Amino acid sequence: MESLLDMLRTFGAEILARPEGPFAFRFILQPLMSLLMATRDGIKDARTGRTPYLWHIASTDPQSRRAAVYEGLRSTGRILLLGVLIDGVYQYKVMGGLIRPLEALAIAFILGFLPYLLFRGPIARLARIVLRRKQSAGQ
């Protein structure tokens, strides 16, 4: 049990040290790219009348939830892959050749998928408002 706690402490300390080290640009680049994908998909949701993404995932049946999560992962897949690769290079350079794949996956998920998950729904809501205003102005 003590070794697990030590691993978690090391994991937390190493993750918190990343924004100050080399490759810090990814802490801006990955969420920005994720936000762009969320914007694209949120606008598409607004046009097709789909429910907000996070709400859809939280309130639907397991089959639809799985499909929705897969859709989000497919949209952010390249961002996640790039994040894992960049973090692997970071680990190799900073930790002297030691690579921890679970840390790389955690960082890629936090920077690449979490912003997508959080912003796709609000962007869809804003897009619906804009689309309604355009439709009512055009009539």
Question: How much is the CA Rg of the chain, to the nearest whole Å?
Answer: 19
The C-alpha atoms of residue 89 and residue 6 are separated, in whole angstroms, by 24
**3-state SS string for 62-107:** HHHHHHHHHHHHHHHHHHHHHHHHHHHHHHHHHCCCCCCHHHHHHH
% pLDDT > 70, the chain: 98
Q: What's the whole-model pTM score? A: 0.80
pLDDT given for residue 135 in this prediction: 87
More confident residue, 26 or 84: 84
The C-alpha atoms of residue 46 and residue 6 are separated, in whole angstroms, by 46
pLDDT given for residue 46 in this prediction: 93
Q: Which sequence spans correspond to the domains of the chain? A: 25-138
Q: Say if residue 11's pLDDT is above 90.
A: no
The C-alpha atoms of residue 4 and residue 1 are separated, in whole angstroms, by 5
Per-residue confidence band for 139, with pLDDT thresholds at 50, 70 and 90: low
Q: 71-124, pLDDT tens digit by residue? A: 888 888 888 998 899 888 888 888 788 888 888 898 889 988 899 999 999 999
